[in-house]
Amino acid sequence: MEISKTELLQRFTAYAEIDTASDDKSTSFPSSAKELDLAKYLTKELTELGFSDVEMTEYGYVLATVPANGVDVAPVIGLIAHMDTSCEASGANVDIQLHENYDGGILKLSENAKLDPAEFPELANYVGQDIITSDGTTLLGADDKAGITAIVTACHYLLQHPEIKHGKIRLAFTPDEEVGRGTEHFPLAQFAADFAYTVDGGALGELNYETFNACNVHVVFHGVSVHPGSSKNKMRNAVTMAAEWQMSLPSGERPEYTEGYEGFYHTLRIEGGTDTVEIDMILRDHDKQILEKRKAYLLALTELMQNKYGQGTVECILHDSYSNMREYIMPVFEIVERAENAMRRAGVEPVLVPVRGGTDGSSLSAMGLPCPNLFTGGHNFHGRFEYLPLQSLAKITEIVVRLVEAE
């Protein structure tokens, strides 16, 4: 099976050049209006390519169908990727760089940015391949525009090759996955798939059916601001309170110290001054009971600080975001095995690893649509040093074709 790398690069570049950063402070849906720019682009592209039932819903989801071909009885398979990119790094004016035939050395992205294998040793796996990056001033957007690229290209390949028999395929491209709201208005009944796959993972071969359980945390410290020259026994410094909170978190249970199945407390941002400080955090763990213990720890810390500084001085608001999809996948584990078989037929050995994060599939699985996750091939998501081997993108595209092929 020959997947055109030129077509993949052109399609990915077109998507990456559209800024779709979601906004974790917004209450609208989508959280950022610019996400609709890609939704409209995809709606037009899919229509022109000959997909059926193409539409953009009122909430910005893009849906499409590849009709069944030569198969009377087959499950309806869904393919899902998200359109938004992380707001942790700029997604505006992405300048795509293609580093052909990588020689194993330092990749110069621009005058002030480089990808050094001493810092990113996984680069050694891609010597001789073609590496896609930004210019180092923005993220690349492989998370998850590589997933969209693979799905669109694979399904277009099926439309061009009627000799490949398959059942009905449903496509969905979602907004706001990066801010944990990607399934908030997902048209589940309209999508009408028996099971689905997100294409939203990492390195070549990764296959996931376990994700974190997730809780978002917002903490507010109420201080009393008084002129420092006359503040004795009057000032209550919210900055000091926030620092005490931060130093009370278990020091070894942070993202930079954990891996595999280890969970963490992660402080995303601290904003404010003497009078008021706000902290945004996330709690993550694959084990739901351990996540509950983390939540209980924060509530106990809140009570401890209330007793020290006074009632009403600390607010801790917990909001569960998504759950580990493992419990929903295990009863239908044959859909994971289907993905394993597709990978092996494409010459890729599956690597089953837990997602140290979540996907739209986490929530969709809980909603009744079992949804494992496939790799995109990308690395270093959410930052300026994100990169995507073109050969990995070609492989996941081939795997998607084999995944939906009639068994």
Residues with a catalytic annotation lie at 84, 177
Cα–Cα distance, 58 to 48 (Å, whole number): 21
**Pick from 112, 87, 118: which is nearest to 383 by CA?**
87
Task: Look up residue 81 and give its two tokens.
Answer: 């990727």
The alpha carbon of 44 is separated from its chain's Cα centroid by a whole number of angstroms, namely 24
Token match 């044959």: residue? 334
Residue 7 near residue 153, CB atoms below 8 Å: yes
Cα–Cα distance, 363 to 98 (Å, whole number): 35
**Pick from 163, 4, 166, 142: which is nearest to 82 by CA?**
142
Cα–Cα distance, 327 to 343 (Å, whole number): 23
Residue 45 near residue 152, CB atoms below 8 Å: yes
Residue 262 near residue 277, CB atoms below 8 Å: no
Cα–Cα distance, 104 to 71 (Å, whole number): 46
**Exposure of 330 in the CB half-sphere (CA atoms within 13 A):** 6
**Pick from 317, 309, 311, 318: which is nearest to 239 by CA?**
309
Residue 135 near residue 388, CB atoms below 8 Å: no
Task: Look up residue 347 and give its two tokens.
Answer: 């010459």
